[in-house]
Amino acid sequence: MNSPLLKLDCVTKRFRGLTAVDRVNMTVDEGQIVGIVGPNGSGKTTTFACVSGFLRPEEGRVIFQGKDITGLQPYQIARLGISRTFQIVQSFEELTVLDNVVLGALKPDEANHSISIAEARNRAAEIIDLVGLASDARKLSGSLGIPGRKRLEIARALATRPKLLLLDEVMAGLRPVEVDQAVEIIKKIRDRGVTIVVVEHLMRAVLALSEKLYVIHHGAVLAQGIDPREVLGRPEVVDAYFGKATLDA
Ligand SMILES: Nc1ncnc2c1ncn2[C@@H]1O[C@H](COP(=O)(O)OP(=O)(O)OP(=O)(O)O)[C@@H](O)[C@H]1O
Ligand SMILES: [Mg+2]
């Protein structure tokens, strides 16, 4: 009865001779946190790009809220309620943290309604608080360290009021205590009704967050399941990617 919020149906993306995403099937239910892991170059970011419209898959369909969104432009998909972060952080360094988030909040929604600047500032302030950047709100974003930049990247994506948030390695470069804080922030975002897909290399975060996990290898889904520890322990997954030591970290 309940159809998934997001469904990838045999999604395939090729770059010349290379099949970067190979017939990927995936479902994400509303309110879930879904994890995606896989070795470098296995197609995780390309999969996000196919969902968010930055790349058009050669084959397969992306279905969001029951609607085929394959091949729509990024701005159209953003308006439908999908927001992504970028692996390379993309804030406006010469603007303050607050103004960066205000810009996200000013994006028009599905019905092409925009909000007032005052409303955008209120929403931005609330989001900045949620991600733990309140004391940095007036700093230039270029002055933030890595943890702050990652939080700002999440805040900017969140400001567009997404139904679905795609987080691409937002914890890379963080220390363990900062990873734990990021995990808490992501859970809080979910508790506010946002469905989340996280691409992440850090097993500590993957294990803490994933209510369903996909392992991608050479562009294809190698394994999936609802217990991340069990999935990561499967022999084919260990063979493809992980040593036991990584799992225990
Ligand atoms: N625009 C592009 N043009 C050509 N090849 C690309 C392009 N983008 C990605 N690729 C290739 O597609 C494959 C998948 O890349 P992708 O960035 O999706 O991997 P990833 O799983 O996100 O890796 P990482 O963990 O390092 O971020 C790689 O072999 C990559 O070199
Ligand atoms: Mg990537």
Start-to-end CA distance of the chain, whole Å, equals 39
Closest ligand (CA of 40)? 1
Instruction: Tell me, yes or no, whether 175 lies in a domain.
Output: no
* Nearest residue by C-alpha to atom 18 in ligand 1: 43
Instruction: Tell me, yes or no, whether 173 lies in a domain.
Output: no
- Residue 28 token pair: 């994400």
Instruction: Tell me, yes or no, whether 229 lies in a domain.
Output: yes
Instruction: Tell me, yes or no, whether 41 lies in a domain.
Output: yes
∠ Cα 95 98 104 (to 5°) = 85
Nearest by Cα to 65 from 126, 5, 132:
5
Pocket of ligand 1 (CB under 6 A): 15, 18, 20, 38, 40-46, 87
Parallel, antiparallel, or unpaired: how do β-strands 164-168 and 195-199 relate? parallel
Pocket test for ligand 1, best of 42, 52, 85, 89 (most atoms within 8 A of CB): 42
* Nearest residue by C-alpha to atom 30 in ligand 1: 41
Query: Residue 202 maps to which CATH number?
Result: 3.40.50.300
Nearest by Cα to 231 from 249, 200, 210:
210
Average pLDDT value for residue range 165-186: 93
Q: Are the beta carbons of 209 and 180 closer than 8 angstroms?
A: no
| pLDDT for residue 227 | 97
Question: Tokens 């010349």, residue?
Answer: 16
Residues 195-246: tens digit of each pLDDT: 999 999 999 999 999 999 999 999 999 999 999 999 999 999 998 875 444 5
Pocket test for ligand 1, best of 11, 13, 15, 52 (most atoms within 8 A of CB): 15
Integer CA distances (angstroms), 104 to 86, 125, 135, 182, in order: 14, 12, 19, 20
Q: pTM for the full model?
A: 0.92
Question: What domain count does the chain have?
Answer: 1
Residues 3-36: tens digit of each pLDDT: 899 999 999 999 998 999 999 999 999 999 999 9
Average pLDDT value for residue range 88-117: 82
DSSP symbol at 135 = G
Pocket test for ligand 1, best of 14, 46, 58 (most atoms within 8 A of CB): 46
Q: Which domain holds residue 48?
A: 1-76+195-249
Average pLDDT value for residue range 177-186: 94
* Nearest residue by C-alpha to atom 5 in ligand 1: 15
Instruction: Tell me, yes or no, whether 69 lies in a domain.
Output: yes
Nearest by Cα to 172 from 205, 195, 197:
205
1 — pLDDT class (breaks 50, 70, 90): low
Alpha carbon 5 to its chain centroid, in Å, reads 14
Report the percent of the chain where pLDDT is more than 70: 94
∠ Cα 173 98 96 (to 5°) = 75
Helix (H) or strand (E) segment spanning residue 166: strand 164-168
92 — pLDDT class (breaks 50, 70, 90): confident
**Ligand 2 geometric centre to CA of 92 (Å):** 22
Give the Cα separation of 197 and 3 in Å (integer): 17
Question: Tokens 């009704």, residue?
Answer: 193
Instruction: Tell me, yes or no, whether 162 lies in a domain.
Output: no
Closest ligand (CA of 201)? 1
Give the Cα separation of 188 and 137 in Å (integer): 20
- Residue 117 token pair: 């600047």
User: Mean pLDDT of all residues in the chain?
Assistant: 91
pLDDT at 90 > cutoff 80: no
| pLDDT for residue 248 | 47
Tell me the residues surrounding ligand 2 (ion) with CB < 5 Å.
44-45
Average pLDDT value for residue range 101-105: 91
Instruction: Tell me, yes or no, whether 5 lies in a domain.
Output: yes
Instruction: Tell me, yes or no, whether 120 lies in a domain.
Output: no
Report the helix count and the strand count for the chain, using DSSP H and E.
10, 10
